Amino acid sequence: MSGFHFALRIRRDPTMDVNPDTSARPTIRPIRTLTALEGRVLGVLVEKQHTVPDTYPLTLNALAAGCNQKTARAPVMTVTEAEILTAIDGLKSLSLVMEGSSSRVPRFEHNTNRVLGVPSQSVALLSTLLLRGPQTAAELRLNAARLHAFADISSVEAFLDEMAANTPPYVVKLLRMPGERESRWMHLLCGEVTSADMQQSSAADEAIAPSEFEALKAEQKQLADKVVRLQALVEQMAAELGFSIDKSAL
C-alpha cells in the first residue's frame, strides 16, 4: 500500500473564541492508511451496528465471525482473534474504534463518523466498499440498503462525489473496464486501488451465484428429459416404419 494519508478534522467550538477569525481552518492531523484487516474490522462494526443492534457493540467473538463471514465479503478472509485484536489496537490508536467498559466481556464499537468527519450515509457506503470491494452506484444502493435506505442512485452518487472531493479523498471513481456499462467506485481508506483489487473484483463478478448455478442445473435437466423423450419417439417411429436404428448413434 502507498503512503496515502487521511485527515482527522478537529471541530472548533465557536463559543470558545472571543473574536472568531472567519479565515481560520480546522486543525488537521494526518492519519495513516489502514491495513486490509483493519478495514475489514471497521466495516464489520459499521455493518453490525445496523443489522444486529441488540448485540452491538460487538464482542471479539462476534467480530471474528463477521470478519470471517463467507457471504457479502470480498475477499473472504480467515483470520484469528489474535490478529483481530492487533487490528483493533491499531484502530484504537486512530480513535476509529473504542472499547466499552460497562461489560465484563470487552465490546468494541466504531467512531468513524467523527474521525472522518462524514455523515452516516457516507459511512454506510464506505463500510459497504470495505466489505465488498469495488461497486457501481447501483450496486452500492442495493448492498448498503440495510445500513441506509438511499432514495435513488443519484443520492448515492452525491455522497460518493462529496467523499471523492474531500482532501484527501476517501473514495475514487474507477475507469470503466471493457464490457462494463457503469463505472465502479472504491474506497481509499486502505490506500490506492491496485490492479490486484480490480482483478479480484472482476473474478468475483464472473463467479456464478448459487441461484444461477441451480437454475443452470434445472435447465440442463429439462434438456436431458427432452432428449430422452425425442429418442423414444424416434425409436417408436422407426419401429412402425420397419427401420432398424443403431441406438449407440443417437
The overall average pLDDT reported for the chain is 82
pLDDT tens digits for 80-127?
A: 999 999 999 999 999 999 998 667 899 999 999 999 999 999 999 999
Q: Which pLDDT score, from 0 to 100, does residue 107 have?
A: 96
> Is the per-residue pLDDT at 23 higher than 50?
no
Through-space distance between the first and last CA atoms of the chain, rounded to whole angstroms: 59
Q: Which pLDDT score, from 0 to 100, does residue 129 have?
A: 98
Q: Which pLDDT score, from 0 to 100, does residue 250 have?
A: 58
Length of the chain equals 250
In which band, very low, low, confident or very high, does the pLDDT at 229 lie, cut at 50, 70 and 90?
A: confident
Mind giving me the DSSP string for 5-63? Answer: EEEEEE---GGG-SS--TT---EEEEEEPPPHHHHHHHHHHHHHHHH-GGGPSEEHHHH
Let me know: does 95 contact 111? Beta carbons within 8 Å.
yes
In which band, very low, low, confident or very high, does the pLDDT at 238 lie, cut at 50, 70 and 90?
A: confident
**What are the contacts of 98-106 at 24+ separation with CB within 8 A?**
100/57, 105/59, 106/59, 106/60
| Mean pLDDT, rounded, for 234-243 | 78
Domain boundaries, the chain: 5-11+25-206, 210-249
> Is the per-residue pLDDT at 19 higher than 70?
no
> Is the per-residue pLDDT at 8 higher than 60?
no
Looking at domain 5-11+25-206, which of 3.40.50.300, 3.40.190.10, 3.40.50.720, 1.10.10.10 is its CATH number? 1.10.10.10
pLDDT tens digits for 149-168?
A: 999 999 999 999 999 999 99
- Percent with pLDDT over 90 in the chain: 59
Handedness of CA 110, 114, 120, 122 (dihedral sign): negative
Q: Which pLDDT score, from 0 to 100, does residue 200 have?
A: 54
pLDDT tens digits for 176-210?
A: 888 889 999 999 999 998 766 665 554 444 444 45
In which band, very low, low, confident or very high, does the pLDDT at 216 lie, cut at 50, 70 and 90?
A: low
In which band, very low, low, confident or very high, does the pLDDT at 54 lie, cut at 50, 70 and 90?
A: very high
**Threshold 0.85, pTM exceeds:** no
All 3 cell numbers of residue 202?
A: 472482476
Q: Which pLDDT score, from 0 to 100, does residue 31 have?
A: 75
- Percent with pLDDT over 70 in the chain: 72
Q: Which pLDDT score, from 0 to 100, does residue 124 have?
A: 98
